[in-house]
Structure 1
Amino acid sequence: MALDTGHTHILQQTKEDMIRNLFDDVLLFILGKVNLMTAMRASVLSTRWRHLPWSLSELNIDMKDFLHEPCADLTVADHIDRAMASLTGALRNMLSPSCRKTAITRLRISFIISNSYSSEIGYLVNEVIENGMLKVLELTSGVERLPGDDDIDEEMVKHANGVNSFFGNYPNISHCLTRLLLFHATFAESDLHNLIANVCTELRYLYLFRCETGFQSIFKIDAPNSKLNVLEFAQCCFAQVELLCLPNLEELICGNWLCKSLPLTLGRHVPCLKEVEIYSVMRSHQEQFKLSELLCGITCIILCHWIWLLPEKYQLLSAFRNLKELYIYDIFVGFGLLWTIALLEAAASLEILEVERDQIRQFCAERSNAPWEVSEFAYPKNLALKELKIIGFNASEEHIVFIGAVMDRASNLQSVALEDKCCKDFDAISTTSVKCRFPKNEDEQEAIVNNVRNRFSSSAKIIFSDKKVFR
């Protein structure tokens, strides 16, 4: 027994020596992978780690990490106050001039700006910026809540007022802020516009979740001096968002809008916009929309979650003239795949096409198949497409015909990637005759390849998700 105890002691000592001999850079890399609470505990338990949290160049301080009970709820006022009190204490400690010797390259704080503790947080961060110890600031304010929560409307107005006051009281913060995420806030239209156009002058990314300027309002953004690169809004109540001028905007994301039609209008002064992502579970009261009326000169489009498009043909030729990448995810099972060929035909410069077929009908508005016309265009079938990827491929005639239709139109096609994505219960709930069956072994895969090669002329290599390549 004594020998065992001694051996254990030697092993523990060896491990401690190994940690003691590690360079600070290595230990800081380890601490950078955990949340702040864990990093602080490590500094208490080991003298070797004691000084390290104050040497971290990136700090991520999230209110959720300071919840005091396993089942604490960030929609309960008392739980929020306790978490905010702990977060403020941790921030006070981490930003203390007497402890911190190195500058912070990036500080991320997730909290609630309208809470009473936010004034101290603002003061602490503002002071660090003044002292030149902080380079980049990212803020998240609010938490995702259900629409039926009590007093949610009142809380949304309070939250927006808190945001306005916070940036008004601490101007250094607004000039250092590059990333802002806001949940559940009701602004006056002029206040939200002022936030984007004049207050947060260094902002590169803005995310709005269930934010509004009044129910079914029209929100216009005219910000010629904005540096905003990415604008994303989800489940917002705007009737329309008109992007009149955002000169540096490169990516626009619109998801799960609540109004009747797609609430997007692009003005002429959005010259850098290259990527648009649109996703939504379309409800029965919502209308189809035309891509050609929204997109012009875009190089990358991402459509997902049962998007309901009005059929178009020649109108898309102008809208898709610069399109290089097209991603269509969760195609409604009732629509099939072949309608997407119309989009391919309109995008003569397209190089990457990726489609994913949804396997389940639930949560989807009742609709009939879209009568997209797939036919001959005036120009030769020498499209620039190089890569085709099908997520949710199954060994059905429909999928084989789709692959052939793409091969027929893209003589320069280099690869066809086929990926599995099956729902275990699909066969039980599907109302169609299509079965979810991905070729699992090499013999089945080779049979698929031979079927394609015998019917369609193409030198493209076919790659299955298990990385088996057929040339």
Structure 2
Amino acid sequence: MPPHQHLGDEDRLSTLTDDILLSILGRVSSCMAARTGVLSTRWKHLPWLLPELSIDVKDFLSVPSPDPTEADAMEKAMMSLTKATKNFLADHRRESTISSLHLNLYLINNFLCEVGSLVGDAVDSGLLKDLDPAITDETAPRDCSEVYMVQRGKEIDGFFSACPSVLHCLTKLSLRNLCFIELDMHHILFDCCKQLKHLSLYQCDTGASSLFMIDAPNSKVSVLELTLCRFVRLEVVCLPKLEKLSWDTWMSPDMPLAIGFAQSLGELELSCGAVCANSGTKLSELLHATRGIHTLSLGFQGENIWLQTETKQLCTAFNKLRKLSVQGIFVEFDILWTTAFLVAAPSIELLQIEVWEHPCDEEDLTDEDRRRTNSERRNPQWDMDFDNSKNWLLKELEFVGFRSLEQQFTFIRSVLERSPNLQKIFLKDDEECSFCAALGAPSKFPKKDDQEMIIRRITDGIFSPQIIFDKL
């Protein structure tokens, strides 16, 4: 590009108003936004006008960063993050208040306390309104000992104790690899964090196989996300503002969840593999106290279906269900059983089905282990009764992991026969698995030349939905 053309482009960009330039800067990291001030005097003051800031410790790691990240590299990154935070929160540079600050931090005590003090001062002075911190950790879950997690729990408690103002403005909090066995987890998260709306816990608990009860009638928490948490049971006794509850991979042999007073709950996501007891879970019993579930996601991670057979019992809980996602169904399993949900909730408008096929699952298994795994997988057996059921209102069907298997055609045709409003069918490839790709596993998604034949098999000249192939 000729030099005069480059200067002309810069001049045109610089003539834009502050609000447009701030909209542009808001799409990049705060650190990148700060660097723009070096390029032009026109941009110099803009980073300190941004109403929302995001400062991520990983932006300060060397490129490429070591994997796993070394302690020295994490300490240097936290040192740089602390300086950046101090710079952004400096009173003499700010021309407006900060509506939201997202911080992604390593749990290193001396830097956490300094960052906490900076944030606390900003809160006390009215400069900062909402805080969204995420305490990250590079340690893999399997490498986290009980001692390690307990120590991290004490450190985060020490951080909150040293910086009480931080607790007052927390609106979103993400914690990872923490054990609160010696602390009052409920008091910290639900009594002290009075403004907290979004809580994410990744491998956090109050000790292995512990009971955790949430009874917080005054809490503002609307989103609760749990992953790999070791609670033997979580009882949501009272959480009136809760709108979304997500639990990915629990460690209990049975469904470890009980839902009490959660009148706002509309979205529920549950996903786990084969750790559940053979008896399975009655979804109707889990949802008996709910009346407003509109979005439901159930995941089985390629293992046995951890639900008991039931249809009519679900009708009350499914009264308002509009979107259903059933994920991780082992590729060799029958899929027709999922239509039981459509019978129980004929008001479903969007149905997502995802088939699980991962050759990498069995790569390291011996022949004996492979035979035992396959023998332990049990094809779902659900009694289907369509005699007295109404036509379904289903408008859209998404099938992820489509493989042109006979049971998949049977399922789609069965749905078409009972869904006069079905307008679109998306047949999608599944997301690429890096482990399967490393094995050289070929894609089994239909090739372009086969798609016309598949459309004819589905429609058979009778049905007329739009069928869309989506190769990821």
TM tier relative to shorter chain: 0.7 to 0.9
What SS is found at the alignment partner of 1:48?
A: coil
Residue 90 of structure 1: how far off its partner (Å): 0.9
Q: Does 1:419 align with 2:428?
A: yes
What code does the residue aligned with 1:448 have?
A: I
Q: Who is 2:262 aligned against?
A: 270
Question: How many Å separate the matches in 2 of 1:103 and 1:40?
Answer: 17
TM-score by length of 1: 0.86
Question: How many Å separate the matches in 2 of 1:87 and 1:359?
Answer: 42
CA contact (8 A) 2:251 2:275 kept: no
What SS is found at the alignment partner of 2:194?
A: coil
What SS is found at the alignment partner of 2:448?
A: coil
Per-residue CA deviations over 1:290-328 (Å, capped at 9, x if unaligned) read: 322323432211122236223412433344333221111
1:77-88 mapped onto 2 (5 Å cutoff): 77-88=71-82
TM-score by length of 2: 0.86
Change (3 A) 1:240 1:187: same
Match for 1:306 among 280, 285, 302?
Answer: 302
Residue 349 of structure 1: how far off its partner (Å): 2.4
Moved more, 332-341 or 224-233: 332-341
Give unpaired runs (5+ residues) of structure 2.
363-372
Change (3 A) 1:125 1:428: closer
Match for 1:463 among 446, 462, 467?
Answer: 467
Question: How many Å separate the matches in 1 of 2:88 and 2:430?
Answer: 45
Question: How many Å separate the matches in 1 of 2:15 and 2:140?
Answer: 50
What SS is found at the alignment partner of 1:193?
A: helix
Change (3 A) 1:321 1:29: closer
What SS is found at the alignment partner of 1:277?
A: strand
Residue 215 of structure 1: how far off its partner (Å): 0.9
Change (3 A) 1:152 1:81: farther
Residue 399 of structure 1: how far off its partner (Å): 2.3
Question: How many Å separate the matches in 2 of 1:164 and 1:265?
Answer: 27
Question: How many Å separate the matches in 2 of 1:286 and 1:71?
Answer: 44
Q: Who is 2:368 aligned against?
A: none
Residue 201 of structure 1: how far off its partner (Å): 1.0
Equivalent pairs, count: 451
Change (3 A) 1:281 1:402: same
Residue 278 of structure 1: how far off its partner (Å): 1.4
Per-residue CA deviations over 1:95-147 (Å, capped at 9, x if unaligned) read: 11111111112110111355211222112111211222222210101314224
Match for 2:65 among 71, 95, 119?
Answer: 71
Question: How many Å separate the matches in 2 of 1:350 and 1:284?
Answer: 27
Question: How many Å separate the matches in 2 of 1:231 and 1:375?
Answer: 34
Q: Does 1:51 align with 2:45?
A: yes
Per-residue CA deviations over 1:372-403 (Å, capped at 9, x if unaligned) read: 22422452332232222222334343222212
1:12-51 mapped onto 2 (5 Å cutoff): 12-51=6-45
Question: How many Å separate the matches in 1 of 2:358 and 2:7?
Answer: 57
What code does the residue aligned with 1:208 have?
A: L
Q: Does 1:241 align with 2:241?
A: no
Per-residue CA deviations over 1:199-235 (Å, capped at 9, x if unaligned) read: 1111111000111101111111111111111100101
CA contact (8 A) 1:249 1:272 kept: yes
Q: Who is 1:356 aligned against?
A: 354
Q: Does 1:207 align with 2:204?
A: no
What code does the residue aligned with 2:282 have?
A: K
Moved more, 36-45 or 334-343: 36-45
Q: Who is 2:210 aligned against?
A: 217
What code does the residue aligned with 1:299 have?
A: H
What SS is found at the alignment partner of 2:208?
A: coil
Q: Who is 2:156 aligned against?
A: 163
Q: Who is 1:60 aligned against?
A: 54
What SS is found at the alignment partner of 1:29?
A: helix
Q: Does 1:178 align with 2:171?
A: yes
What code does the residue aligned with 1:289 have?
A: T
* Percent of aligned pairs with the same amino acid: 37
Q: Does 1:193 align with 2:186?
A: yes
- Coordinate RMSD, CA, aligned: 3.0
What code does the residue aligned with 1:461 have?
A: P
Question: How many Å separate the matches in 1 of 2:281 and 2:28?
Answer: 44
Q: Does 1:261 align with 2:254?
A: yes
Per-residue CA deviations over 1:66-88 (Å, capped at 9, x if unaligned) read: 22463346754333222211111
Change (3 A) 1:410 1:70: closer
Per-residue CA deviations over 1:2-61 (Å, capped at 9, x if unaligned) read: xxxxx9443444344334333333332332222233223322243232222211211111
Change (3 A) 1:463 1:132: same
Give unpaired runs (5+ residues) of structure 1.
1-6
Q: Who is 2:389 aligned against?
A: 380
Q: Does 1:291 align with 2:283?
A: yes
Change (3 A) 1:139 1:233: same
Per-residue CA deviations over 1:403-430 (Å, capped at 9, x if unaligned) read: 2211223334333333344879799979
Q: Who is 1:448 aligned against?
A: 454
Match for 1:122 among 116, 119, 140?
Answer: 116
